[in-house]
């Protein structure tokens, strides 16, 4: 019976497209659209999970609180932007250099093993990475301090406890973890450059800067910019790397936006205020993405 019914239904193209899209759309609406709208609604309410009171309409009070720096969130935002800016820049520069290194050594023995080792940080769970580095950075029995005092004869450095160093120590771990990602994107970008054009550039005796600007950049820029965009969005949300290392301390020196948001929402259950904060962060993310896409498209239009 069904065999008689199904072909007719499946032959209808419009129905087929619809049928294939429905599961994804349903999933998206249930787990993305509805919570986002809920979040938007909550951001105008006073709502705490521990008080047992129903949400109380609050107008723009939550956003006023944010504007007047409740919980010191402008400091968090500043630290986060610095984290994203410095982190993504370092990762991009190192990643591109490593990418060129691996690209130019295709016949080297052991290249595959080296690549595999290089990519391991990226596939680790950030929580595990953070925990490992807490031990590595530990002032009393950490391996890094053992090397510094025993090997180099320097004093003990409390990497995660010293407010002047902790931020950069955490940033270094982020770079350790995500530079391989930029290497991967660089290799993908270089792989998209047609071989004949590179060979032609060699035969035409072009200098390396010319080769990069005329051939490699032209073909590889889209993939590389995509990598930078993904890293930017991801770095903006950094949380699970920091929790096991410093939990935002010492003081507030490593408190990024996501750390504070996590604390306010899932430790203090301050849902109304957290929702407003989330909305703000979402808007910032959308703005950054739009700027990237604009830059990419403008470059293409200019050609």
Half-sphere CA count of 280, side-chain side, radius 13 A: 22
Residue ranges binding another protein (CB under 8 A): 194, 196-197, 199-200, 202-207, 210, 214-215, 218, 303
The four Cα atoms 189, 193, 195, 196 give a dihedral, to 10 degrees, of: -170
Give least dist CB 292 to another protein, A.
Answer: 21
Query: Is the CB of 49 or the CB of 295 nearer to another protein?
Result: 295
Cβ-count burial of 261 within 10 angstroms (0-12 exposed, 13-18 middle, 19+ buried)? buried
Closest CA to 93 of 227, 242, 215, 233: 227
Phi and psi torsions of 21, nearest 5°: -85, -25
Cβ nearer to another protein, comparing 13 with 106: 106
Between 197 and 234, CB nearer to another protein:
197
- State in angstroms the smallest separation of the CB of 143 from another protein: 44
CB of 299 to another protein, least distance (A): 10
Whose Cβ is closer to another protein: residue 33's or residue 213's? 213
The minimum distance between CB 281 and another protein, in angstroms, equals: 38
Give whichever of 115 and 215 is closer to another protein, judged by the CB atom: 215
Please give the C-alpha separations between residue 7 and each of 2, 13, 15, 20, in angstroms, as whole numbers. Answer: 9, 11, 12, 15
Give the SS3 label for residue 222. helix
Nearest CA among 241, 255, 234 for reference residue 130:
241
Burial class of residue 192 in the structure, from the number of CB atoms within 10 Å of its CB (0-12 exposed, 13-18 middle, 19+ buried): middle
Instruction: Provide the minimum distance between the beta carbon of 106 and another protein in the complex, in angstroms, as a whole number.
Output: 14
């Amino acid at each position: 019976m069904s065999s008689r019914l199904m072909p007719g239904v499946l032959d209808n193209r419009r129905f087929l497209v619809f049928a294939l899209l429905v599961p994804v759309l349903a999933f998206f609406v249930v787990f993305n659209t509805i919570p986002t709208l809920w979040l938007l609604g909550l951001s105008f309410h006073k709502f705490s999970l521990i008080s047992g009171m129903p949400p109380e309409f609050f107008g723009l009070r939550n956003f006023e609180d944010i504007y007047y720096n409740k919980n010191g969130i402008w400091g968090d935002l500043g630290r986060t932007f610095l984290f994203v800016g410095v982190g993504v820049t370092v990762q991009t520069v190192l990643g591109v250099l490593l990418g060129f290194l691996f690209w130019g050594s295709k016949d080297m023995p052991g290249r595959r093993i080296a690549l595999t080792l290089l990519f391991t940080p990226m596939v680790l769970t950030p929580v595990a990475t953070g925990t490992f580095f807490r031990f590595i950075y530990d002032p009393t029995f950490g391996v890094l301090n053992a090397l510094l005092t025993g090997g180099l004869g320097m004093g003990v450095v409390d990497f995660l406890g010293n407010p002047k160093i902790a931020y950069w120590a955490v940033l270094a771990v982020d770079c350790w973890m995500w530079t391989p990602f930029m290497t991967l994107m660089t290799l993908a970008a270089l792989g998209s450059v047609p071989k004949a054009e590179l060979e032609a550039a060699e035969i035409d005796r072009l200098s390396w800067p010319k080769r990069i600007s005329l051939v490699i950049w032209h073909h590889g820029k889209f993939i590389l910019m995509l990598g930078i965009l993904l890293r930017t969005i991801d770095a903006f949300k950094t949380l699970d790397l920091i929790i096991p290392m410093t939990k935002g301390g010492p003081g507030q020196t490593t408190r990024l936006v996501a750390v504070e948001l996590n604390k306010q929402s899932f430790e203090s259950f301050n849902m109304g205020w957290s929702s407003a904060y989330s909305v703000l962060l979402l808007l910032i993310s959308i703005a950054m993405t739009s700027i990237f896409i604009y830059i990419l498209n403008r470059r293409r239009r200019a050609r």
